[in-house]
Homo-oligomer: A and B are copies of this chain.
Amino acid sequence: MENKIKLENKLIRTDLVVELIDKNNKNIISKTKDNITITTANVKKDISSQIGKKEGMYITISFDDITNFETREKVGKVLEEELKKIIKKLKIKPKAECLIVGLGNIKSTPDSLGPLTIQKIVVTKHLFALNTNVKDGIRSVSALSPGVMGTTGIETSDIIKAIVDKIKPDFLIIIDSLAALSINRVNKVIQLTNTGIHPGSGIGNSRKEISYDILKIPVIAIGVPTVVESATIVNDTINYLFKHLSYIKNNYDKNKLTITKLDNYQKKIENNNLNSEEKKQVLGLIGELAEEDKKALILEVLNSLNYNLMVTPKEIDYVIEKLSDLIASSINNALHRQITHF
Contact = CB atoms under 8 A, between A and B. Distances in A.
Interface of A: 1, 5-8, 69-70, 107-109, 118-119, 123-127, 129, 140-145, 147, 149-155, 158-159, 161-163, 165-167, 183, 203-204, 230-231, 233-234, 237-238, 240-241, 244-245, 248-249, 252, 257-262, 265-266, 269, 278-287, 297-298, 300-318, 340-342
16 contacts: A70-B341, A107-B317, A108-B316, A119-B151, A123-B150, A123-B153, A140-B153, A154-B167, A159-B163, A233-B233, A241-B301, A258-B300, A262-B304, A283-B283, A308-B313, A311-B311
Contacts of A150: 123, 126
Contact of A119 (B107, B161, B283): B107
Contact of A5 (B7, B257, B269, B317): B257
Nearest to A127: B153
Contacts of A315: 108, 308
Contact of A260 (B154, B165, B266, B300): B300
A6 B258 contact: yes
B144 A309 contact: no
B309 A313 contact: yes
A167 to B, nearest CB: 6
Given A162-B162, A163-B163, 8 more contacts: A1-B245, A109-B317, A123-B150, A154-B167, A162-B166, A230-B233, A244-B301, A281-B285
Copy number in the complex reads 4
A320 to B, nearest CB: 11
A141 to B, nearest CB: 6
B153 A233 contact: no
